[in-house]
Amino acid sequence: MSEEEVRAIVKLVMVDDIDTDQIFHQSLLTIHDPEEIKPHIFGNLDGYENFGKEDNTGKIILVGKNFGKGSTRQQAVTGFLAHGIKAIIGESFGPIYYSNAVNSGLLLVEVPDISKFDVKENDKLEININQSIIVNLSNNSSIKCAKIPQPVLDIMKAGGLLKLGEKM
């Protein structure tokens, strides 16, 4: 992640409390290759079972609150990176999921008032990281997002935590 603005069309997955087992089921735990993880993403989430097999390349995903609660499952981050997902916007994230995402370079953006955001499937969004604002370019509405902490940006700019560790 290098740019200060992220633009992409949005895929809505407005479900609260999505658990890591709904993102990538525990029966698949021995799978670690990103390309093999990819088709299983949301495979256990009612109504979104086909997400992993569809082309969602380059999209932003919009979710509800408590996204990624549950297990320490790194695959639940890897799978979105394999899809080329640019960012996940949600009201809140499970703390372990948040850290796993940052460490791997997946941008998570917290929007406390997400229910007030005027957005529909396939709208084009712009996340302005410096100004902590998300603009819906399709209808010109906008909403504030939580400031992304500097250490998080540093880790992501280094290309992830492991790259940072090579210099330590």
Partner 1 sequence: MASFTLIEKIIKNHTNVSDNEIYSGNILWIDVDLVTARDYAGPQVIDLFQEHYSGSNTFNNEKIIFTPDCYPYGNDPKHAKDQEKIRVFAKEHNIEVTDLGSGIGSHLLFRRGFSKPGDIAFGADSHYNILGALGILGQGAGDVMLAFAMKTGKSWIKIPETIKVVLKGDYEWPTTAKDLALFVLKELHEYGITGKAVEFYGDIIDRLSIEERVTLCSLITEASGVIGFVAADQKTVDYYSNVGINIEKISADADANYVSELVIDIQDLGQYIACPPHPHNVKKIKEVIGTPIYSIVIGSCTNGSAADIHDAAIILKGQKINPNVRFGIVPATREDFVSINLVGDMTTILEAGGNFFGAGCSTCAKGQYGLTGGETAVTLTTGNRNTQGKIGPADVYLASPVVAAAAAIKGKIVFPEEVIKK
Q: What residues line the site for partner 1 (CB under 8 A)?
A: 17, 19, 21-22, 25-27, 29-30, 32, 44, 46, 65-66, 69-74, 77, 92-96, 98-100, 103-104, 149-152, 155, 160-166, 168
**Which of 63, 160, 45, 44 is CA-nearest to residue 108?**
63
* Pick 97 or 125: Cβ nearer partner 1: 97
Both tokens of 19, joined, read 């658990």
* Pick 113 or 121: Cβ nearer partner 1: 113
Smallest gap from Cβ 13 to partner 1, in A, equals 16
Smallest gap from Cβ 93 to partner 1, in A, equals 8
Distance separating alpha carbons of residues 142 and 133, to the nearest angstrom: 7
146-149: Cβ within 8 A, 24+ apart: 146/109, 146/110, 146/111, 146/112, 148/107, 148/109
* Pick 104 or 136: Cβ nearer partner 1: 104
Smallest gap from Cβ 121 to partner 1, in A, equals 24
Distance separating alpha carbons of residues 131 and 94, to the nearest angstrom: 24
